[in-house]
Amino acid sequence: MRTPLSLRCAGAPALLLALVSASSAFAAELAPDTLTLILQELRQLRRSVELTALLQLKVQVAAERLKLREPQVRALAERAAHAEEAQTASTVEIERTQAELAKVEERMGQETAAEVQPELAAKRRALADTLGHMSRQQEEAHRRAEALAASLAAERGELERLSEALGELERSLERHVHASGVAEPPSR
């Protein structure tokens, strides 16, 4: 038995309507979960990109601070080395002057000629004055050297702190990049 054409034509839209409504219901059921998952992944991706950018910026800032500090530390180290060399030379000169003064005093004790005594006494006074002046200069140089050493230690400490901070930032960035690179999509 054949169905009249009018019935077949009328049934096709009804079937089409039934299929569309069934697929729409299935799509409507699936869409909110899928959309929610996509939005969650987009938010995670945005946070990941923002965190990566922030960490990269912090690494750059710390690296620039290191670059700025290194010349200061080198300059302080050079100044401290020169101050140490100057102190060593000053100590040697003081010891030489003390030895010369001891010789003059010994000679004064041994010399019996009256005409030589005033000359030795003048030489002794000059050496004692020079020695006093050199001692004061050495004390002042010692104070400056100690201040330089303290500044150098502080700068080296800050350089070490910045270096450690930079290392930690780099490790954080690497951990973050690895974590976001291997992250699996959340399960349903």
Structure confidence by residue, pLDDT tens digits, 120-172: 889 989 989 998 999 999 899 889 889 988 998 998 898 888 888 888 888 88
Does residue 144 fall inside a structural domain?
A: yes
For 47-83, the pLDDT digits (tens) are 888 888 888 888 888 888 888 888 888 888 898 888 8
Mean pLDDT, all residues of the chain: 79
Tokens of 144: 């400056």
pLDDT given at position 172: 83
Domain span at residue 53 reads: 12-181
Query: What pTM value is reported for the model?
Result: 0.56
Does residue 58 fall inside a structural domain?
A: yes
Q: How far apart are CA 27 and CA 32, in angstroms?
A: 9
Does residue 78 fall inside a structural domain?
A: yes
Q: How far apart are CA 127 and CA 103, in angstroms?
A: 11
For 73-112, the pLDDT digits (tens) are 888 889 888 888 888 988 999 899 999 989 888 888 887 7
Ranges 4-18, 148-162, 171-185, most confident = 148-162
Does residue 187 fall inside a structural domain?
A: no
State the average pLDDT over residues 5-22. Answer: 49
28 CB-side CA count, 13 A: 6
Task: Point out the least confidently predicted range of 2-11, 21-30, 114-123.
Answer: 2-11
22 CB-side CA count, 13 A: 6
Does residue 147 fall inside a structural domain?
A: yes
Q: What is the CATH number of the domain that holds 114?
A: 1.10.287
Does residue 151 fall inside a structural domain?
A: yes
Q: How many domains is the chain built from? A: 1
Q: How far apart are CA 147 and CA 140, in angstroms?
A: 11
Q: Sign of the C-alpha dihedral, residues 71, 76, 80, 82?
A: positive
